[in-house]
Structure 1
Amino acid sequence: MSSPQIVYAHLKEVRDFKVNKILKKAIIIDSSYTVSKVTGVLVNSNSYDAFCMDGKDVLTISTRDLLSAKDVEHMKVKPLLRKIQPLTTSDTVEKAAAILSHYRMRSVPIVEGNQILGVVNIKDIVELLHKQNLKWIPINDILTPEPITVKSNDSLATARKIMITRKIDHLPVIKGDKVSHVMTSMHLLQVVKPGEKIGMGLRGIDAKKKYESEIGNIGSTRIPNLDTHVPLSAVIESMLKNDASCCLLTLWDHVHGIVTYKDIINILESKIPSEVPLYIVGLPEDYSSAEVVKTKFDKIIRNLRKVYPEVESAKASIKTVHNPSSKQPHYDVGVRIITPYKTYNYAESGWDLSKIFDTLGSKVVRNLSQHSKKRWKTSIRKIDKKDIF
């Protein structure tokens, strides 16, 4: 297990890299476009995100957003557009990685005035990381364990629902008892893309009918499949060599995990200004919620150090799970506390992120106060409850 503090220091060169040095052409659309037209633009350019300006606001739409459209042919794209925070030419890769991870995007625009100058692609950041020595970082530190899979005889509608509700772009497809290929949101979008008009009709069948079809062989077989014991450097090299946006990690023919570009750039995780190094992965999309999380996590560690002063660093990982039966997401939160003697891990789940961190705060402080050395006379009972949160 690699130390977040060591990883953070090791990747300073990448974090400080200026985004204007990796500027690429942006896919620009107009809010008056139909879903059908934007679908064609993204499919033809093999891009996952498109952007437009609305006054001073920057709006975006992704392949997953387009999959949620009910009327592909006639619906305007405007209701599906989302406001995001852009970059400026003076920003660094660290900020770009934070925004990409925050909004679960493949590219983020660089804006000057009211003009989109271009984008920073997530793949370009991965290529910067590839130039670093990452052989000492185990892949188990960053992979997403037990990824959601679908069967080849499942319907495209099933895959669509999973991608939209879980906000994921990759689905390993099981055929028989093994993974045969991986389907992405782009593959699905290509299938349901409206056909060419012939006279008053439409070539092919409409999107609703297409979603009733089986997944079958739709997807890519050019996906790296590596052992779980390989280092991060081997995974990145294999993904770039195969031009693949994900890599499967197997153990005894079982899919143990999946690594995507997003998982990789998470090692450029946010460091919170604090008494000790604090890191958070997977902050919620809402910035006010993200700030609440940062404040609570910082307060947990500050109060912990009153009873356990030798905390060296701490990391919180937040996994957001979107349940189709509820508008409110479910959160799985893990906290890792690193001390000179041992690494402590805690986990909590729930629907209210604020309450989850409150519960974790009580659990962490209570548990580690019991492990503190006898010479530390400070007791958890001396800390006022209102100070913990």
Structure 2
Amino acid sequence: MIPTLEDIRDAARAIEGAVMRTPFLPAPKLSQLTGAEVSVKYENLQVTNAFKERGALVKLLSLTEDERRRGVIAMSAGNHAQAVAYHAARLGIPATIVMPRPTPFVKVKATRGYGARVVLAGEMLTEAQAEAERLASEEGLVWVHPYDDPHVIRGQGTIALEMLADDPTLEVLVIPVGGGGLIAGMAIAAKALKPGIEIIGVETALYPGLWGALKGKPVTFGGPTLAEGIAVKNIGKLTETIARQVVDDILLVEEPAIERAVNAFLTQQKTMAEGAGAAGLAALLSEPERFRGRKVGLVLCGGNIDPRLLSSIMVRELARDGRIIAIRIAAPDRPGVLGDISSIIGELDGNILGVSHHRLFLDVPAKGTTLDVTLETHDAEHGERITKALEAHGYRIRHLDVAEAMV
């Protein structure tokens, strides 16, 4: 049941023309940021904005006429759902998709937009899978597993074929891991083509399934993660078997690193990455010494992120860099104070984003007030110069949490 290099090459021929051969390009800005020689495979440019189209289409093309007539069912947090829905509609196959209730609305809407019947069930992928299995049995639907299927695995492996065709000198592939289908297929192809290449998987620290399995360590799962696309408790049996043979290591990344990676793709590469799609870059940011100076291929495996969430990440990263600060200024309640404060900030080239007055706080004198000011700065040092200048003019300053101040 384990696909071979030739199986993956067959898959590449089967999907040619129906799935984009995405660009694989050097990323000098990310190389400067991480210290590695980074190139990025832009799977976020697929029609459904994620790599899942490859495996889904290979699986659908393998169905018999009777199976196509009965229809298919899939379980997914979003990207596999959209891939199955899109290609099933292209092939005239009825599709039912079961998604966890917390799935971002942008993914639910897109899946329905491709013509699939969407069922929301459970809080996690495991609960959604149980409902999908029930419906498959009850309605006679054909199961299209998101990762633990040889056809899906060989479809995902086509990414490695393309990456190594474009750059045979790659030394390391860094691959996000959820259930393991992507890394299993890519590792089979990459190791067959270049046995010395290193295959590194990346999981969110909140869902370290493959890490625990390969290292033989007990793990716990749970918690809200930006990388919901790889928040998988149950890795595949087939994918685990393959990983034991061809994956060199699994790294775990924390949420702040994933946020930073999402922001870096947007600000440095001008491209959108969801949390799971940015996990590989998060690993390079978290462990730069491991990859320094090496030729690294990253898979930006998905770009389906809620715009509101992306906006929040950008603001949070600006705050971490000290480029947005929020301060509470204690001042006398008299005319001209706001103008004086604004002038001090403006003379130092600060940009005020928001101001709010508070006169009823109990720690404020009866004839006093506080001003909460959110401002944009060049960097943390620039912000410190502004606050010191305000203090030099007699104002008492307390730093606030930017997210709280901008609510």
TM-score by length of 2: 0.27
Q: Which has the higher strand share?
A: 1
Please tell me whether Structure 1 or Structure 2 has the larger radius of gyration of its CA atoms.
2
Q: Which has the higher helix share?
A: 2
Larger relative contact order (Cα-Cα within 8 Å, sequence gap ≥ 6): 2
TM-score by length of 1: 0.27
